[in-house]
């Protein structure tokens, strides 16, 4: 589970308080006090809300309700899957519903809405509605279907002294802030959140969409570059050796209780964080892994058709996403790195070197300790500074190859035409079980 912190506030918090009238601020204060009482230290969560001429209608459920509603004996049935899809859609995006929609949700969940009385009706002002949405999220649970998340892991962190560990975390934290400032100087503002994993950081962009995913990718490149430059200039173990993973996927977002209030920072947990943890667990020092995903094209520019309807952005695979990001790296030219200006910056996925085959990125299969597998790609970065070239990530010679077939493991030990002995059969079985249960990364 990842808890967010950031050098930037959320979008709602960046708004000037003077843009909300005193009357509406009073409404927001009353709303938060009532939500806190109904929340009961995390016993209940908010699902959605609807405006009422005298206040708000809100649907509260016990924290265990959603798990029971989506799981149990119905989990593997069509109805169980429909329930989970319904809940994910309900807690995705904006939580405001029309009055009719809210009562349909209430009827399906068999939960009566709670009425919260306000002194005056809420206005339709954007700042007020955004503030209400932020409050509802703090006392609820959200689902994000697609978001880029980055994991930076310090190699052999536990083998260093406590002082070195503190220095390494501080150094990596500085690289994050430095990358943020470098992007900001190029006109790219990333609203990033981060959490310490103990020996590294999860980082994500609070903003959503293809541009936000691309900006986090640029952010990753600058963090890795800043870390490499700092490590080259350091002595001892004060600057960490890192391994990096980037992936796009779904996750839940929540605010845990801290004392009698929910925290002001969110936590994320879900498929994307699990995949990142499994990927980086088998990554080598200095390696940069990119997950196998499909997402909206970062180069897509919204256009309308003849009827004026906005067309949906096309979905692209990992290789296309990286190529598109690479084409946009000219925007980072002139960035300062170690006091030198970046003349050019490029990145690419390591390609297959097999003769006679069409050029394609080398895809790697990562098997975790549970025997579950996923795919990833190796990223290489090239930076041209004033009179200096820097290569980051692992090159072709440092990557694992295809695994040998298990069925041929004992061919050389057996005489042709002779049936395997009992000992050889047990050895074969043990070898297969070991291959199935052991963690490994091999070329797919």
Spell 97-109 as b/e; 16+ CB within 10 A means b.
beeeebbebbeeb
**Beta partners for residue 289, in sequence order:** 245, 378
400 with 443: CB under 8 angstroms? Answer: yes
400 with 378: CB under 8 angstroms? Answer: no
> What are the Cα distances from residue 254, in Å, to 1, 14, 64, 100, 219?
10, 20, 14, 27, 24
- What's the CA gap between 345 and 224, in Å, rounded? 13
- What's the CA gap between 36 and 34, in Å, rounded? 5
**Domains annotated on the chain, with CATH:** 2-139 (no CATH), 145-383 (3.30.70.1230), 400-443 (no CATH)
193 with 6: CB under 8 angstroms? Answer: yes
- Beta strands (DSSP E) in 74-137 are 114-117
- Residue 236's pLDDT is 85
> What are the Cα distances from residue 191, in Å, to 6, 12, 44, 176?
8, 12, 29, 12
> pLDDT 10s per residue in the chain (444 long)?
665 655 544 444 444 445 888 999 999 999 999 999 998 888 899 999 999 888 999 999 998 998 888 875 555 566 557 898 999 999 998 999 999 999 999 999 999 999 999 988 899 999 999 999 999 998 999 999 999 999 999 999 999 999 999 999 999 999 999 999 999 999 999 999 988 888 999 999 999 999 999 999 999 999 999 999 999 888 889 999 999 999 999 999 888 766 666 666 778 899 999 999 999 999 999 999 999 999 999 887 766 555 555 667 789 999 999 999 999 999 998 888 878 889 999 999 999 866 556 778 999 999 988 888 999 999 999 999 887 889 999 998 888 877 654 444 444 455 555 667 777 666 776 666 555 556 788 887
Q: Beta strand 288-291 with 242-254: parallel, antiparallel or unpaired?
A: parallel
Q: Give the rounded distance of the alpha carbon of 226 from its chain centre.
A: 21
Spell 129-161 as b/e; 16+ CB within 10 A means b.
bbbbbebbbbbbbbbbebbbbbbbbbbebeebe
Locus of tokens 């041929």: 408
Residue 372 has phi, psi (to 5 degrees) of: -85, 145
- Residue 267's pLDDT is 83
- Residue 9's pLDDT is 45
- Residue 359's pLDDT is 78
Non-local (6+) Cβ contacts of 287 within 8 A are: 243, 244, 378, 393, 394
199 with 277: CB under 8 angstroms? Answer: no
């Amino acid at each position: 589970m990842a808890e967010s912190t950031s050098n930037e506030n959320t979008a709602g918090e960046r708004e000037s308080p003077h843009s909300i009238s005193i009357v509406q601020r009073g409404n927001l204060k009353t709303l938060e006090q009532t939500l806190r009482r109904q929340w009961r230290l995390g016993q209940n969560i908010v699902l959605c809300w609807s405006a009422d001429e005298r206040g708000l209608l809100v649907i509260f459920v016990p924290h265990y309700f959603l798990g029971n509603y989506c799981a149990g004996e119905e989990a593997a049935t069509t109805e169980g899957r429909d329930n989970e899809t319904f809940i994910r859609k309900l807690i995705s995006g904006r939580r405001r519903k029309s009055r009719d929609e809210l009562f349909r949700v209430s009827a399906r969940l068999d939960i009566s809405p709670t009425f919260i009385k306000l002194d005056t009706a809420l206005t339709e002002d954007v700042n007020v509605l955004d503030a209400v949405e932020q409050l509802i999220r703090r006392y609820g649970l959200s689902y994000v279907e697609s978001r880029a998340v980055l994991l930076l892991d310090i190699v052999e962190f536990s083998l260093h002294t406590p002082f070195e560990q503190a220095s390494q975390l501080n150094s990596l934290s500085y690289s994050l802030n430095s990358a943020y400032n470098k992007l900001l100087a190029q006109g790219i503002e990333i609203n990033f959140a981060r959490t310490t994993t103990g020996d590294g950081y999860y980082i994500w962009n609070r903003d959503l969409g293809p541009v936000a995913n691309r900006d986090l990718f640029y952010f990753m490149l600058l963090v890795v570059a800043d870390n490499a430059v700092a490590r080259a200039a350091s002595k001892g173990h004060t600057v960490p050796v890192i391994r990096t993973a980037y992936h796009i996927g779904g996750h839940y977002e929540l605010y845990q209780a801290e004392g009698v209030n929910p925290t002001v920072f969110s936590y994320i947990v879900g498929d994307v964080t699990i995949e990142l943890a499994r990927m980086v667990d088998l990554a080598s020092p200095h390696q940069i892994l990119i997950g196998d995903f499909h997402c909206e094209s970062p180069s897509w520019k919204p256009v309308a058709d003849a009827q004026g309807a906005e067309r949906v952005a096309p979905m692209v695979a990992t290789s296309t996403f990286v190529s598109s990001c690479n084409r946009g790296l000219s925007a980072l030219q002139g960035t300062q790195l170690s006091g030198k200006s970046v003349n050019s910056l490029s990145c690419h996925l390591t390609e297959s070197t097999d003769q006679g085959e069409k050029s394609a990125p080398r895809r790697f299969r990562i098997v975790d300790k549970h025997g579950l597998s996923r795919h990833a790609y190796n990223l290489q970065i090239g930076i041209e500074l004033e009179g200096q070239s820097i290569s980051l990530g692992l090159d072709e010679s440092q990557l694992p190859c295809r695994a040998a077939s298990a069925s041929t493991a004992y061919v050389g030990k057996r005489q042709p035409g002779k049936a395997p002995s009992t000992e050889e059969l047990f050895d074969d079985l043990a070898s297969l079980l070991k291959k199935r249960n052991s963690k490994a990364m091999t070329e797919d």
